[in-house]
Amino acid sequence: MKVIAVNGSPREDGNTAAALRAMADVLKGEGIETEIVHVGGKLIPGCIGCGHCFSSEGNICVFKDDAVEENVMKIRAADGIILGAPTYYAGIPGPMKSFLDRVFFSSSRYLKYKVGTAVTAVRRAGGADVVHQLMNYFNLAETVTPPSQYWTIVYGMDKGEALKDEEGMQTVRKNARAMAWLLKVIDASKGKIPLPPTEKREFTNFIR
C-alpha cells in the first residue's frame, strides 16, 4: 500500500512539512510506503472550467508541464492521500487551491473509497477553516476519512515550532495511525465485501 502526502506550503521544510513527516513516519512504521510531494512553491494555473479533462483520454487536464501533471497519476494510483497546507488568511494558499481544484475535478472518479485526510499549520487562528476546506475535497470525491482526537492542526510560526506543540503533533500521529488501520481494513475487505451500490448521479439546479 502507498500514501501520497501533498505539501502545499512554499516551505519544503517548514511546519506543514514537519507535520507531514510525523504522519509519514507513523505510516512507514505500519509498513505503508509514504511519499511527500512538494507543490506549494510552484506556479500552478487554476482550473478554467473548460471540461477538457472530461473528454480527454485518461481524463488529463488541458494544462501541461506543471505540478498537477507531475503528480496526478501518483495520487490516482495511491491507496491513501494526505493534504497538508499552511493557513493563509484562514484559507488554503493559492497554488495549493489551484492544484487541488484541478486534481480533484479531473480525478475524483479515481479516488472513491480510498482513504484521505488533511493537516494544517497555523500561527494562531484560522486553522480549522483550512482543515475544513481541505476535507471538502475528500468529501466530494467520496473518500473515507480517518478520525483523531481533535482537529488536525499544528501550531507554530518559525521553522520547527510545530514540533513543540505536543498536543497538535500527537493529534496528527493518532490520525496517521487511524489512517493506517483504515487502509489495512479496506485492503483486507477486497474480494470479500463489495463496495456500496452506486446510483446514476442526479444534477439538480436550485434555480430553474
**8 Å CB contact between 47 and 68:** no
- DSSP 8-state assignment for residue 37: E
Note the pLDDT tens digit of each residue in 43-95. Answer: 999 999 999 999 999 999 999 999 999 999 999 999 999 999 999 999 999 99
pLDDT at res. 203: 86
Collect the ranges in the chain with pLDDT lower than 50. none
**8 Å CB contact between 146 and 117:** yes
Q: Distance between CA 170 and CA 70 in Å, rounded? A: 32
Count how many Cα atoms sit within 13 Å of the Cα of residue 42 in the half-sphere of its side chain.
21
pLDDT at res. 201: 87
pLDDT at res. 208: 65
Model pTM above 0.85 = yes
Q: Which amino acid is at 112?
A: K
pLDDT at res. 206: 82
**8 Å CB contact between 131 and 153:** yes
